[in-house]
Chains A and B, each alone.
Chain A
Amino acid sequence: MTILCALKRAHLCTNSLGMALQFEILARYKRARAAKLTLPHFTCQTPLFMPVGTQGTVKGLTSSQLEDAGCQIVLGNTYHLALRPGADLLEQLGGLHHFMNWSRALLTDSGGFQMVSLLHLADITEAGVTFQSPVDGTSMLLTPEESIHIQNKIGADIIMALDDVVKTTITGPRIEEAMYRTLRWIDRCIAAHSRPSEQNLFGIVQGGLDPHLRDVCCQGLVDRNLPGYAIGGLAGGEDKDSFWRVVAQCTAQLPEDKPRYVMGVGFPLDIVVCSALGADMYDCVYPTRTARFGTALIPEGMLKLKNADMATDVRPLDASCSCMVCKRYTRAYLHTLVTREAMGSQLISYHNVAYMMKLNNDLHKSILEGCFPQFVQGFLRMQFPKGNVPLWVCNAMEVAGIDISMCLSPEVASS
């Protein structure tokens, strides 16, 4: 089994048209892969997690702190940046990299996600989405062309095609309509993209939880030979068993030699499962948002610092973590800061981002060193010491070809 993963196969994008990246797979374990992703501003290693910096800043952290934590790509939200400070101003000031003093890579989403998060302010037609600005109430028509135009001005290393996003919990013809519209819009995005040699346009697979629709969408996008692909429309409240099946289907269908990005995924467990299924990139507000509510991410799961028993706990958040916060602070002190002082959320955000970076670095290293199954087993043992690994994880791992039977309690194993 280990012979397989020791096989190092390089997949270099040879296509010079519309590519501003190189994706080189360094090692694999079954479907999982560890790769080197070379972007205009930074050479990254995958699997990789991208913290979300919606408005040109990751909540409360400086760019030097993000670098110290090991961040490789930061995500910016096109819709929010277009409202404030505005695309023209960003272009005038030398792009988002310069504006936020971030020298590593950036990715901007297309604004499509706001069709879901700000649905009450959005009106979706074939032309595009009309948003009512939550800032000043004016309306803005976001067409595929306009989205790309704005993202060209923002200047991120990876830009996303505008897709028609619907909630995965919705059923019926709206899902199909959205998928076909996403395919029609991708051509408009490609045509509008003015900086293909500096920015990589990723297409987004839609199609809800329907395998047939996902299949059509994957095929349609692969035909366009894009620099990378995203699996969209997930992590929106669907059941986990449907979630992993869509990821598994798409990662199997998408080309081997292109990066695969699962949008909106950020729970550590989901990242481990998706990586085992062959995904490479993730983004989520979860680590920083949960930090602001006083929850730290640790190998055992979540640590709720507001809990009364934290008041007398003199251990660091995570003894295995070497971040600045774990080196300096006890849980007891963070308990006194949390939710009362802004510093509490800043320190826990710092740790959570560092935790996510370390998790992804560990995934990369374990695939490279041929011990990916052992890493997954160790991870599951820590998260589920009683062996109550959820069934969807067991099912996904079976498809990923990773034996986790030793992590399961007898009851789970027999069911």
Chain B
Amino acid sequence: MKVEDPRNLRSIGDSTSIRDIWDLPSSQIMKFSFSVRVWSKLDRARTGTLNLGTGKPLADTPCLLLTTRKGLPAFITPELLDEIYPAANLLQISPIHFLETPPTSLISGVGGIHLLVGLPEYGLAAFARDSLMCEANGQGTTKLGAAFETSGGRRLVGPSKYMELVNALKPDFWGSLPDEVPAWVSTKRNRMSVDRTLNWLDHCLSLHSVGAIFGTVVGGVDLELRMHSAQETAKRRVSGFSLGGFGLGESKEERAALLEVAIERLPAELPRHVSGLGMPEEVLEAVSAGCDILDSTYPHTLTTGGYAMTFPLSIQDEHDSEKLSIEECATLGSDSSKINLRSMSYRSDTSPLLKSCECHACCKYSRAYIHHLLNTHEMLAQTLLDIHNVTHYLRFFAAIREAISQNSFDQYKSWFVSRRR
């Protein structure tokens, strides 16, 4: 596919057939589509809208897919999720979580993942990789399928099983089954991963009946293989791309080049998802390279560690934020980006986690209370911290979109990275 000058592009719907859209009355059907509104001048960053179809949220990109455990966020119950602003309405689900129970016939019978997890109006995206529970190290994967560590031991999932799950779950969009390998594998193994992932994509395409399919691009740290994988994937009838195999041991320099060679070869009008680049700097780097949809375990990781995100979201914000000296940070176990609520210094601190935040946790509870909940091992600690961390990270993505819209993403990125050093 020829890459056109991105500045000339307009909204172009995907090429999936009518069968791809799940059971809505035909008169109301809106297809999955993606349109770019503003292209950054200095890099490949872009902001646009992901339209998941009738009755679904319109998601502005670059956007965050929240991590889930069996379809729901680990700590936030659905009615609290509904309250989060900016809207937390895009979730990543892993078909692998549904290998054991419930049976696929039942998932299909209740109407798919949206109804199963009680979130009919949310955008749910299925990607195989589960960065929380299972490291994608390529071990155990054979020509029959990719290996995943599950609670029931290591399981081999081939494209047929994978598609059985996807077709039952009926996600809004989903990535083809990849054979992901870490940076340190041999070129031979890496080449095998590329060929296998392409084969599996064709297999998935032949079995696919619902949702928009994202072809997965792999290739490890080999530039040639990355190019080849991207080129070949772009030839398939897909609605978007998923960049696999990142965050698996590649260096920062390697990563920039790998993202560049792959994205250069993908049609500019289709959305790109990337997995495994979830830290704030990684997000900025991926967005700068042209990624639109990102998943991240960062909020979850901070929450489970007892941390709350406090980094300023804009230059103006920075002037209002608390300033801590290096010594203070060291005693508190905090830094300029986050505070450690386990620290005794918050024992009697009646202020909210973050003054400028309007999330449920910040409006209603104090640092002292959350410190107490952590100290007494009460589950509510994680719920409140996660509400805050998810809200803050969604606000970070909103700030990124705003910067791209204002044509100042490059400055935003430089400012952000420099203050984190």
A contact set with B: CB distance below 8 Å: 55-57, 59-65, 68, 80, 84-85, 89, 92-93, 99-101, 311-312, 314, 324, 327-330, 332-333, 335-337, 340-343, 345-347, 350
- Cβ contact within 8 Å between B77 and A333: no
A93 touches B101 (CB 8 A): no
B72's nearest neighbour on chain A, judged by CB, is A343
List 14 additional contacts besides A99-B368, A314-B106; criterion CB under 8 Å.
Answer: A55-B378, A56-B369, A65-B80, A80-B376, A93-B348, A93-B350, A100-B369, A312-B102, A312-B103, A332-B102, A336-B98, A343-B72, A343-B73, A346-B77
Contact B368 A342 (CB under 8 A): no
Q: Tell me if A's interface is mostly helix, strand, loop or mixed.
A: helix
A337 vs B70: C-alpha distance when bound (angstroms): 7
| Contact (Cβ within 8 A) B380 A60 | yes
Chain B residues numbered 350-378 whose CB sits less than 8 Å from any CB in chain A: 350, 360, 364-366, 368-369, 372-373, 375-376, 378
Q: What are the residues of chain A within 8 A of B368 when measuring CB–CB?
A: 85, 89, 93, 99
Contact between B348 and A342, CB atoms less than 8 A apart? no
Instruction: Tell yes or no: B27 within 8 A of A by CB.
Output: no
Which of A59, A340, A342, A343 has the most C-beta atoms of chain B within 10 angstroms of its own C-beta? Answer: A343
Q: How far is the CA of A311 from the CA of B106 in the complex (A)?
A: 9
**Complexed CA–CA distance, A324 and B81 (Å):** 13
Q: Pick from B110-118, B232-240, B273-281 the stretch touching chain A.
A: B110-118
B350 in contact with A333 (CB, 8 Å) = no
A341 / chain B contacts, CB cutoff of 8 Å? 69-70, 72, 74
Interface residues of B in 299-348 (CB under 8 A from A): 347-348
Asked if A311 and B72 sit within 8 Å, CB to CB, the answer is no
Q: Does B378 lie within 8 Å of A335, measured CB to CB? A: no
A residues less than 8 Å from B383 (CB atoms): 60, 62, 346
Minimum CB distance partner of A337 in chain B:
B70
B106 near A92 with CB under 8 A, answer: no
Q: A59, A99, A312, A332: which contacts B379 (Cβ < 8 A)?
A: A59
Determine the distance from Cα of A134 to Cα of B151 in the docked complex, in whole angstroms: 33
3 A-B pairs with least C-beta separation:
A328-B118, A60-B379, A55-B376
A391 to chain B, nearest CB (A): 40
Residue in B69, B117, B369, B376 whose beta carbon sits within 8 Å of that of A333 in the complex: B117
B109 at the interface (CB under 8 A from A): yes
A residues in contact with B71, CB < 8 Å: 333
Between-chain CB contacts (< 8 Å), 23 pairs: A55-B373, A57-B373, A61-B380, A62-B380, A63-B364, A68-B79, A85-B372, A93-B348, A101-B364, A324-B77, A328-B118, A332-B101, A332-B102, A333-B71, A333-B102, A336-B70, A336-B98, A336-B100, A337-B72, A340-B151, A342-B379, A343-B69, A343-B77
Question: Does B78 have its Cβ within 8 Å of any Cβ on chain A?
Answer: yes
- Min distance, Cβ B381 to any Cβ of chain A, angstroms: 9
Roughly how many angstroms separate A93 CA and B366 CA in the complex, as a whole number? Answer: 10
Contacts of A59 in B (CB 8 A): 378-380
On whether the beta carbons of B74 and A342 are closer than 8 Å, the reply is yes
Question: B382: which A residues are within 8 A, CB to CB?
Answer: 342
| CB nearest neighbor in A for B361 | A62
Asked whether B384 lies within 8 Å of A62 as measured between CB atoms, the reply is yes
List the A side residues contacting B80 at CB < 8 Å: 62, 65
Chain A CB within 8 A of B246 CB:
no
A342 to B77, CA, bound (A): 10
**B79, B101, B376, B384: the one within 8 Å of A324 (CB):** B79
Question: Which residues of chain B have C-beta atoms less than 8 A from A336's C-beta?
Answer: 70, 98, 100-102
B150 CB to nearest A CB, Å: 11
C-beta contact mask, B149-188 vs A, less than 8 Å → 1, else 0? 0010000000000000000000000000000000000000
Give the residues in chain A near B372, CB-CB below 8 Å: 55-56, 84-85, 99
| B74, B100, B118: most-surrounded residue (chain A CB, <10 A) | B118
User: CB distance A57 to B380 under 8 Å?
Assistant: yes
- Bound Cα distance from A335 to B75, whole angstroms: 17
CB contact between B75 and one of A55, A85, A93, A342 (< 8 Å): that residue: A342
Cα separation A341 to B69 with both chains bound (whole Å):
7
A335 touches B102 (CB 8 A): yes
Q: B378 — which chain A residues lie within 8 A by C-beta?
A: 55, 57, 59-60
Q: Quick one: which of B75, B364, B373, B376 contacts A343, CB cutoff 8 A?
A: B75
Given A89-B348, A314-B109, A342-B379: A101 and B369 interface contact (C-beta under 8 Å): yes
- Which A residue sits closest to B98, measured CB to CB? A336
Q: How far is the CA of A340 from the CA of B150 in the complex (A)?
A: 12
B379 and A330 within 8 A (CB): no
When C-beta atoms are compared, the residue in chain A nearest to B69 turns out to be A341
Closest CB in chain A relative to B141 CB, distance in Å: 25
